[in-house]
């Protein structure tokens, strides 16, 4: 990946070439992932799973399993957890609908039914076969449009027609705007699910000790959430649950709810008073974690003939699977981002999340926006073609701009989408004429920088940080943020070093341990750089202010810096200096020693926190981007090959330059997979390809160049002007691929992932239509 930046260098650490602070531990194999944790006297757990998509549990007999040599204990819902219901939407108890180890009913194939702990993993696995479960199989339903029918089986009591959650967004007079429209287009889309495929599968080691303390090593993206949720389901004090997640092998939105590994290992450990380790196999991770939410999308758009956008209406049914999870948030966000990055005089969205007897769906990188953009950005391209308009210029004239207010929802402060259009136009022009089997597709989008909504109902600040300064001037930085591979630890250390005026190597970051770090909502919705970053900046500023108070008052420093009352002091690169005359100053460690003496030996401690206020309904800031993808399509086989790409990307001020490149490249691979490869077929509720042979992901050799043109903007709410990067780029690619296919063949792809047979069928249909003289619409 290459990047071109318009940013000027004004920092000593920010946006410089800084390697990941945990890089050496990772590449030398010293990083301890949950998979690597081994405790004395530890047992190994395995989970018995439902073979039925919908069934009553009549009886569980595990007596034979208990007699099996090496088996130490078994837990079930009926005996051990008493069907405790949980969910991450704690603010709404109705939506806390999941019993991990259900009492009397299973709702999807793969749902945990019982868990065994044994001396080895093999013994635990064998013991599962000895547990006898009597089921009464119930009728099941797998698709949302079937599940809302009157005759459909009821999946959760009290949820009529299986409707789990609804969401409505509306502004302006939609009907009047449609009446003014000179051209109206409506389309139905079927948008697919996607598996998170973290390199590290769900994993937990729980250690309950007789003093009533439960320590859990767990692969997740929010130790605080997991601590609070586990304390809730086990009826423990929050402080008696310690969650440690030092290294996490990917999460992508799939690891901030309770999973079977953490829940069952903790329940077993509490019962047996021994550490218990549960690691999901890859197949278990596929069938019994969660997935990106599949959706049926109806989109109706009204425009003027000159391409002015007037009205849009969307109605969406999502396949929620068996439980709510984070799906309720995805339902709102898909509706909100479906309007992005454009101005609509009237906009109406009705979203319906429907329970089915399939794997639950939840948040995944992009959080509902990839589905929204697949439908929106393709339809916009078709409208431009129908009206004979330039698709980039049509987008440009309707786009957001700095200071624009999305009615009742959000205020846009920084917005570089206009410059994004320029960059992609230039790129397309430079490409010139393409070979006949290739075409370029484009797609725009915008994305949030952290969520404002507090569905978890936390009483704490959304982010917090603490800085302490040692006698030699080195710094301990404590955050509750979670690095799951995206490089947030490095980003936060950069912000701390820049703010305090020290070097990167001075910072030691402490994170991912609820016993020692402040609560933080963790890594989701692209929140950590802005939210935890602001908390870190505040904590470092607090510490720096305390240091400088001693500098202003100390005669030696006053004389060295030539200070008088009108001059300011600052610290940069460990040099405490007069801002007006930077050459006059003292060494930073000298000031630290003076401050320590002045505070009677107390360490300097800086504190910071951040919670967004008066920033609308959704997010404090929004990133913007336009992506172009050059695609080659084989007319004989329908096979797609990605040749080249450029994303013009406005993420405000980049903080961690190398991290940004890695994030954007990773997001592209996931987005491309969603566009044309990663398919999750179900038959009678059973996932047909739960392995990495049959579930096709993009490989390194299939990745096209993924260049990025950084657009230089400044986001006033972000630390040093920074905002989202790395999640939003998951959103445009599926539509860009669809648009390339449209420009190559004139066919419209209304389902993803776009598979070869779909292209061949569309071409066949087009030929037949041509024969019969019909126009493809």
Partner 1 sequence: MSYKCPVCKKEWKDSLQVARHMFGTGDKPHKEWVDEQGKDKGFTFIDLMIEQATTPGNKSYVTLAEIIEKAQSSL
Instruction: Please report, as ranges, the residues that interact with partner 1 according to CB under 8 A.
Output: 148, 160-161, 163, 166-168, 170, 174-175, 186, 298, 300, 313, 315, 317, 348, 350, 352
Distance of CA 614 to CAs 402, 412, 446, 619, Å?
A: 17, 12, 20, 10
| 164/414 with CB nearer partner 1 | 164
Residues forming a β-bridge with 340: none
Nearest distance from residue 178's CB to partner 1, in Å?
A: 9
Shortest gap between Cβ of 152 and partner 1 (angstroms)?
Answer: 12
Q: What are the strands of the beta sheet with 55-61, ordered from one edge? A: 105-106, 55-61, 132-137
Distance CA 407, CA 674 (A): 31
In the complex, what is the shortest distance from the CB of residue 165 to partner 1, in angstroms, rounded to a whole number? 9
Q: Minimum Å distance from CB 158 to partner 1? A: 8
H-assigned helices in 28-160 = 63-67, 121-128, 144-147
Nearer to partner 1, 83 or 408 (CB): 408
Minimum CB distance to partner 1 smaller for 167 or for 572: 167
Looking at the Cβ atoms of 11 and 298, the one nearer to partner 1 is 298
Rounded distance, CA 203 to CA 263, Å? 10
3-state secondary structure 316-338: EEEEEECCCCCHHHHHHHHHHHC
CB of 763 closer than 8 Å to CB of 745: yes
CB of 192 to partner 1, least distance (A): 20
Give SS3 for 270: helix
- The length of the chain, given as a count of residues: 777
Residue (314 or 536) nearer to partner 1, CB: 314
Please say which residue, 144 or 366, places its beta carbon nearer to partner 1: 144
- Residue closer to partner 1 by CB (options 160, 211) is 160
- Give 92 or 401: the residue with its C-beta nearer to partner 1: 92
Give every CB contact of residue 176 below 8 A, 6+ residues apart in sequence: 346
Extract the tokens encoding 163.
């409707």
Q: Smallest gap, in angstroms, from Cβ of residue 299 to partner 1?
A: 10
Bridge partners, residue 134, by sequence:
59
For partner 1, the closer CB: 354 or 434:
354
Q: Least Å distance between CB 450 and partner 1?
A: 24
Measuring CA to CA, which residue among 665, 679, 673 is closest to residue 734? 673
Bridge partners for 133 per DSSP: 60
Residue 328 vs 517, nearer CB to partner 1: 328
Task: Pick the closer one to partner 1 by CB: 134 or 186.
Answer: 186
List the one residue out of 669, 629, 628, 693 whose CA is nearest residue 365: 669
Q: Give the H/E segment covering residue 282.
A: helix 282-288
Torsion angle defined by CA atoms of residues 50, 55, 57 and 62, in that order, rounded to the nearest 10 degrees:
-30
Widest CA span of the chain, in angstroms?
94
Q: How far is the CB of 315 from partner 1 (least distance, A)?
A: 5
- The distance of closest approach from Cβ of residue 385 to partner 1 in the complex, given in angstroms and rounded to an integer, is 22
Torsion angle of alpha carbons 509, 513, 516, 520, nearest 10°?
80
User: Strand 112-118 vs strand 43-49: parallel, antiparallel, or unpaired?
Assistant: antiparallel
In the structure encoding, which two tokens stand for residue 553, read together?
């008052």
What's the gap between Cα 396 and its chain centre? 28
**Cβ 232 to partner 1 shortest distance, Å:** 23
Collapse the DSSP code of 408 into the 3-class scheme (helix H, G, I; strand E, B; otherwise coil) and give the result.
coil
CB 160 to partner 1: min, Å: 5
Give least dist CB 166 to partner 1, A. Answer: 6
Closer by beta carbon to partner 1, 48 or else 299: 299
Q: Is it true that the peptide bond before 341 is cis, omega within 30 degrees of 0?
A: yes
From residue 102, give the alpha-carbon distance in Å to each of 60, 77, 224, 369, 649: 12, 5, 25, 32, 45
């Amino acid at each position: 990946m290459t990047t071109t930046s318009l940013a000027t260098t004004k920092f000593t650490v920010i946006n410089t070439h800084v390697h990941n602070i945990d890089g050496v531990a990772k590449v030398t194999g010293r990083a301890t992932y949950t998979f690597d944790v081994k405790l004395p006297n530890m047992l190994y757990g395995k989970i018995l799973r439902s073979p039925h998509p919908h069934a009553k549990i009549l009886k569980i007999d595990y007596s034979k399993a208990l007699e099996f040599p090496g088996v130490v204990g078994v837990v079930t819902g009926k005996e051990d957890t008493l069907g405790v219901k949980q969910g991450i939407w704690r603010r709404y108890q109705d939506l806390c609908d999941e019993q991990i180890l259900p009492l009397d009913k299973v709702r999807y194939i793969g749902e945990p039914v019982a868990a065994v702990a044994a001396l080895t993993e093999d013994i635990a696995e064998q013991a599962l076969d000895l547990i006898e479960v009597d089921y009464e199989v119930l009728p099941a339903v797998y698709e949302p449009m079937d599940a809302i029918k009157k005759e459909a089986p009821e999946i959760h009591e009290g949820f009529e027609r299986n409707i789990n959650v609804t969401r409505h967004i509306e502004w302006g007079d939609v009907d009047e705007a449609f009446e003014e429209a000179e051209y109206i287009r409506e389309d139905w889309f079927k948008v697919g699910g996607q598996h998170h495929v973290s390199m590290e599968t769900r994993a937990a080691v729980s250690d309950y000790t007789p003093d009533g303390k439960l320590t859990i090593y767990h692969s997740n993206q929010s130790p605080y959430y997991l601590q609070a949720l586990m304390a809730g389901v086990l009826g423990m004090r929050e402080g008696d649950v310690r969650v440690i997640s030092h290294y996490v092998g990917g999460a992508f939105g799939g690891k901030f709810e309770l999973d079977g590994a953490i829940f069952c290992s903790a329940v077993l450990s509490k019962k047996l008073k021994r550490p218990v380790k549960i690691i999901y196999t890859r197949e278990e991770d596929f069938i019994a974690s969660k997935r990106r939410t599949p959706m049926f999308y109806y989109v109706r758009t009204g425009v003027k003939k000159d391409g002015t956008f007037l009205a849009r209406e969307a109605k969406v049914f999502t396949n929620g699977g068996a439980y709510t999870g984070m799906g309720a948030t995805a339902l709102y966000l898909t509706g909100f981002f479906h309007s992005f990055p454009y101005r609509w005089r009237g906009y109406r969205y009705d979203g319906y999340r429907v329970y089915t007897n399939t794997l639950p769906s939840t948040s995944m990188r992009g959080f509902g926006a990839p589905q929204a953009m697949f439908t929106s950005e393709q339809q916009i391209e078709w409208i431009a073609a129908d009206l004979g308009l330039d698709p980039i210029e049509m987008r440009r004239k309707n786009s957001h701009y700095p200071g624009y207010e999305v009615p009742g929802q959000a205020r846009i402060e920084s917005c570089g989408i206009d410059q994004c259009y320029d960059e992609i136009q230039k790129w397309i022009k430079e490409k010139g004429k393409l070979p006949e089997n290739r075409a370029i597709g484009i797609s725009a989008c915008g994305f949030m920088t952290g969520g404002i909504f507090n569905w978890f109902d936390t009483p704490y600040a959304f982010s917090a940080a603490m800085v302490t300064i040692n006698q030699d001037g080195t710094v301990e930085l404590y955050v509750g943020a979670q690095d799951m591979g995206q490089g947030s630890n490095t980003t936060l250390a950069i912000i701390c070093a820049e703010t305090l005026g020290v070097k990167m190597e001075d910072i030691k970051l402490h994170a991912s341990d609820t016993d020692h770090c402040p609560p933080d909502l963790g890594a989701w919705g692209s929140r950590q750089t802005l939210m935890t970053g602001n908390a870190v900046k505040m904590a470092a500023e607090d510490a720096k202010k305390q240091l400088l108070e001693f500098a202003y008052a100390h005669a030696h420093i006053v004389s060295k810096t030539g200070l008088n009352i009108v001059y300011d002091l600052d610290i940069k690169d460990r040099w405490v200096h007069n801002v007006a005359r930077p050459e006059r100053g003292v060494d930073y460690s000298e000031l630290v020693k003076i401050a320590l003496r002045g505070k009677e030996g107390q360490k300097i401690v800086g504190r910071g926190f951040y919670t967004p206020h008066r920033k609308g309904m959704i997010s404090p800031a929004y990133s913007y981007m336009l992506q172009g993808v050059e695609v080659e399509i084989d007319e004989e086989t329908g096979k797609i090959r990605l040749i080249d790409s450029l994303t013009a990307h406005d993420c405000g001020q980049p903080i961690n330059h190398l991290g940004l490149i890695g994030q954007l490249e990773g997001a592209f691979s996931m987005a491309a997979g969603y566009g044309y490869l990663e398919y999750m077929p179900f038959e009678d509720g059973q996932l047909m390809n739960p392995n990495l042979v049959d579930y096709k992901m993009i490989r390194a050799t299939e990745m096209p160049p993924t260049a990025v043109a950084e657009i230089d903007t400044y986001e006033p709410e972000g630390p040093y002007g920074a905002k989202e990067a790395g999640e939003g780029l998951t959103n445009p690619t599926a539509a860009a691929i669809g648009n390339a296919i449209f420009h190559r063949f004139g066919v419209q792809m209304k389902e993803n992932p776009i598979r070869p047979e779909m292209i061949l069928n569309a071409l066949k249909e087009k030929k037949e239509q041509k024969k019969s003289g019909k126009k493809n619409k």
